[in-house]
A and B are shown apart, each in its own frame.
Chain A
Amino acid sequence: AQSVTQPDIHITVSEGASLELRCNYSYGATPYLFWYVQSPGQGLQLLLKYFSGDTLVQGIKGFEAEFKRSQSSFNLRKPSVHWSDAAEYFCAVGPLNTGTASKLTFGTGTRLQVTL
């Protein structure tokens, strides 16, 4: 069965500092990979996704993620964090070749706190 691990439950960074959120997955092949953000009282919003091709993926709000097959990782990065980035971040995987890439398996999330 596929699974997603986000080892950091809670991360605090200063505004302007760089950010990296870790995500590791377990799957029999390369799945579809996603990062979502959830702000309090808001629905999940897609930040970026990887299906194939270039392993460095650019997303919205200045985020990027790099797929590393050898490490089964899909870490999310941002060079300079803004206070408005404080939220819960979820990594997710979707099954390849079943036609339901959005039957997602989510990690438990990483809560990002930004200090001014």
Chain B
Amino acid sequence: GAGVSQSPRYKVAKRGQDVALRCDPISGHVSLFWYQQALGQGPEFLTYFQNEAQLDKSGLPSDRFFAERPEGSVSTLKIQRTQQEDSAVYLCASSLLEGGTGELFFGEGSRLTVL
């Protein structure tokens, strides 16, 4: 498709399990962002990539969260030893321009539920 694709759309994990969430940005988009959206809240910034370089990871809530974009296209957000407070929708967004000054295109999100 032409938009940002995220998988899985829904993930249920038992507390302590590791999960991996995938994002396929729009082809050619330089910038890629991950946001976390808790229930009833606005999205919160997690991390930002410019091509394969992770330029900002200041929003990652703990060292259990790890993101990568090794070839400058697909990105994976990994959460180790999941906790209940990790339950949220994880949104990926991409932008054509460097620095994300262009329009952000969001995927539909991956909803993570930790039991």
Rounded to whole Å, the gap between the CB of A39 and the closest CB of chain B is 10
CB pair A102–B106 under 8 Å, yes or no, is no
* 8 Å CB interface, A33-91 against B: 36, 41-46, 49, 90
- B contact face: mostly helix, strand, loop, or mixed: mixed
Set A43, A49, A107: member contacting B42, Cβ < 8 A? A107
CB pair A100–B44 under 8 Å, yes or no, is no
Set B42, B45, B56: member contacting A109, Cβ < 8 A? B42
CB pair A43–B45 under 8 Å, yes or no, is no
Set A42, A45, A102, A106: member contacting B95, Cβ < 8 A? A102
Interface size class of chain B, counting residues whose CB lies under 8 Å from the partner chain: 20 to 34
A41 proximity list for chain B (CB < 8 A): 108
Given contacts A43-B109, A105-B45, contact A99 B101 (CB under 8 A): yes
CB pair B101–A43 under 8 Å, yes or no, is no
CB pair A102–B43 under 8 Å, yes or no, is no
Set B3, B40, B44, B101: member contacting A102, Cβ < 8 A? B101
B62 at the interface (CB under 8 A from A): no
CB pair B106–A45 under 8 Å, yes or no, is yes
CB pair B99–A99 under 8 Å, yes or no, is yes
A104 proximity list for chain B (CB < 8 A): 35, 43, 45, 104
CB pair B99–A106 under 8 Å, yes or no, is no
A90 proximity list for chain B (CB < 8 A): 42-43
B98 at the interface (CB under 8 A from A): yes
Interface string of B21-55 (1 = CB under 8 A from A): 00000000001010100001111110010000001
Task: Identify the 3 closest CB pairs spanning chains A and B, nearest first.
Answer: A102-B100, A106-B42, A99-B99
